[in-house]
Amino acid sequence: MNALKPADLSLWKGRKDEKFGRPNYWYEMVKASSLEELKSSANKQLAILGYAVDEGVKRNQGRVGAIDGPDAIRKMLAILPNHFINPTDILDFGNVACVDEDLDGAHGHLSKSVSQLLSQGAFPILLGGGHDIAYAHYAGIRHFLDGQGKNQTIGIINLDAHFDLRSNKNGNTSGTPFFQIAHDCKAKKQAFEYCCLGIQCSANTQTLFNTADELGVTYLENTKYTIEHWGEVKNCLNDFLQKVDKVYLTIDLDGFSSAYAPGVSAPSPMGFSPDIILKTLDLLIESQKLISIDLAELSPKYDQDNATARLAARLVHYLVSR
């Protein structure tokens, strides 16, 4: 089985409206592509790449189903309207798969793909899949930046209920990605700049809090990551942004309240709401440091009326339309 499954354009469909000189919806814009075909373009290029893998979730004793997340998000992206001001190409590169439970192999393939997308000037939008996507995604960004010969610092901003800083001594899982990144940074003598917003005491052991403190992680708990505390959130983000050259944003959908995101690997009734996320996205856009994003942990079989998939799609739409 190939580790990269080609794009399935049958997922991209929607209503038929009269056209007035431009496509009305995303499904009319998207094109199947491959890493071999990708070339630099004067147009903005949005590169959609799925990570159809929940092996890491299974290893982390979560409820599986995230393997179907990428395609569920595609279906909800397809029906969204085209509000791009500048010429924009939406390119679908298919899904990275995990062959024979080889999670490290899937990570390697995803990492290489991210690096190639960035090298051609595309903006990667990765759709998960388990949150172990973060380790491979970061590695791809790091490889691309190192290849430019610049010592640029990557700031990771994770919107999540969990630190995902578990030790990987018994293997890599969806709970270990930022622990792995921290140790890779230490080995390469590079800064580990990690900011996690929405942390829940009920979702992290004291050991994980201790690990976060030892690694110098910036974090706000879910009681502070709210629109009512936007001033504090804004100061936290601005302080973090000043320390880094590029920002990699990863959104774990299980950080949202299950009222908004029931279809996730680890649902949370006490999670954050969309309003604080949109304010965060606005600030990151204004910083002009955002280099790549992903969304993780959508598990469609637990979703209700595609609510979580719709939420994921609209977050992407909000971000890239700006």
Length of the chain: 322
162 is in an annotated binding site: yes
Per-residue tokens: 73: 């998000």
254 is in an annotated binding site: yes
Contacts of 166 (CB under 8 A, 6+ apart): 60, 173, 175, 176, 179, 208
183 is in an annotated binding site: no
Neighbours of 307 (CB within 10 A): 17
Q: Residue with structure tokens 């909000």?
A: 318
**H or E stretch at 115:** helix 103-119
| CA separation for the pair 179, 164 (Å, rounded) | 7
Amino acid 17 reads: D
Contacts of 4 (CB under 8 A, 6+ apart): 93, 94, 95, 96, 97, 109, 113
252 is in an annotated binding site: yes
| CA separation for the pair 184, 102 (Å, rounded) | 20
Burial grade of 68 (CB within 10 A; 0-12, 13-18, 19 or more) = buried
Residues at the annotated binding site? 131, 160, 162, 164, 252, 254
Residues at the annotated binding site for Mn(2+)? 131, 160, 162, 164, 252, 254
